Structure 1
């Protein structure tokens, strides 16, 4: 099962009213073993042109991964009530990100679905900032 999909990604930092970034893009959606995968290419609008983003959705283990490969590279793991440290490689240098997942909801099936993640993220020991990520996948 590999399908084309319309992917909507909305990222919001909770303390800033108008700080929502939303991207709607075509991509692919498939299932491999017990995980669903969403893959799309970043564009100039996101500032990450030349990067491929993959979401790995593992409902069985209640785990969500955001993987970027290209001009920007990272692997961020989200699992409720656990923390993760990842390196975020950009053309301008590497940042160490500390992620503390507060909420993770995944409602996904062979036709697509929704993922919601709320997490605190801090860069190199700075004050954590709460961010929420809403993802909608419409398989076609």
Structure 2
């Protein structure tokens, strides 16, 4: 495992065009296993996900899988041009999630690079929000 610094910028846009932007910088770990690259980091109070670990998997075909573990469980798969279905497990119960991915790009290589995701997310059949995630990963030389 290689120590990295993970910078995540998230922009959520609702159906009325209102935007919510969040930024997170966290220490993390990078490793590669059987052609898949992994980035692992702890969420913070800022994201409302304190106590949750996020793992981003960049598959060898370029698609991305996001897994969250801890006080809340989640798995999201980003396949450009496809709709995927998953669950969002919270302390209050399980909610169905539908993602429609428009953008899924990665230049991640050996613990350094950029991941860009653009997708609609619908939770429990309610209003759909467009989300943009921009993830920068760099080696931590500290």
Cα RMSD for the two superposed structures = 1.2
Q: Does the residue aligned with 1:125 lie in a helix, a strand or coil?
A: coil
Within 1, Cα distance between the matches of 2:127 and 2:47?
A: 24
- 8 Å Cα contact 2:4/2:111 also seen in 1: no
**Count of matched residue positions in the alignment of Structure 1 and Structure 2:** 137
Which residue in 2 is equivalent to 1:42?
43
Answering whether residue 70 of structure 2 is matched by residue 54 of structure 1, we say no
TM-score (norm 1): 0.92
Unmatched segments (≥5 aa) in structure 1: none
TM-score (norm 2): 0.90
**For residues 49-102 of structure 1, what are the alpha-carbon distances to aligned partners after superposition, in whole Å with 9 as ceiling and x for unaligned?**
2211100011x3221011001101011000101111110011222211100001
Give the secondary structure class of the aligned counterpart of 2:49.
Answer: coil
Matches within 5 A, 1:1-140: 2-14=1-13, 15-17=17-19, 19-58=20-59, 60-140=60-140
The one-character-per-residue Cα deviations of 1:18-65 (angstroms, maximum 9, x if unpaired) are x1111000010111111110001122222222211100011x322101
In the alignment, structure 2 segments of 5+ residues that lack a partner are: none
Provide the secondary structure at the position in 2 that maps to 1:108: coil
SS at match of 2:46: helix
